[in-house]
């Protein structure tokens, strides 16, 4: 069988390696905010560490951080993000 993703609007922010305040603000909003050990920026490596339902994952600069349909957060590589999502017009 084949399946197609349902059209779903998500929120996301791109991690540039220099916008830690913007990413932190994004992670602290929504129905399931991240804080404490669930989220962190490693200034040495430039990675953002995120607790996801599948376990701990990292986002590198240029990756997107997505808030899913249940308020969960995931990192997503830029190339995959642009193949999967398009901007929603206001």
Tokens matching residue 22: 């913007």
Predicted local distance difference test score (pLDDT) of residue 8: 87
The pTM (predicted TM-score) of the whole model is 0.84
Cα–Cα distance measured from residue 50 to residue 9, given in angstroms and rounded to the nearest whole number? 21
Question: Looking at the predicted structure, is the pLDDT value of residue 84 above 80?
Answer: yes
Express each pLDDT in 48-71 by its tens digit.
999 888 999 999 999 999 998 888
Q: How far apart are the first and last CA of the chain?
A: 35
User: Could you give the CA distance from residue 36 to residue 55 in angstroms, rounded to a whole number?
Assistant: 15
Alpha-helical runs (H) found in the chain: 20-27, 78-84
pLDDT tens digits for range 3-43: 888 888 899 999 999 998 899 899 888 778 777 778 888 87
Whether residue 90 has pLDDT greater than 80: no
């Amino acid at each position: 069988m084949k399946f197609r993703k349902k059209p779903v609007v998500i929120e996301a922010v791109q991690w540039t390696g220099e916008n830690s305040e913007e990413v932190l603000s994004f992670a602290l909003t929504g129905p399931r905010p991240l804080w404490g050990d669930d989220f962190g920026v490693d200034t040495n490596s430039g990675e953002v560490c995120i607790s996801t339902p599948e376990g701990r994952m990292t986002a590198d600069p240029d990756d997107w951080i997505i808030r899913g349909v249940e308020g969960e957060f995931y990192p997503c590589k830029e190339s995959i993000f642009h193949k999967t999502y398009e901007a929603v017009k206001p």
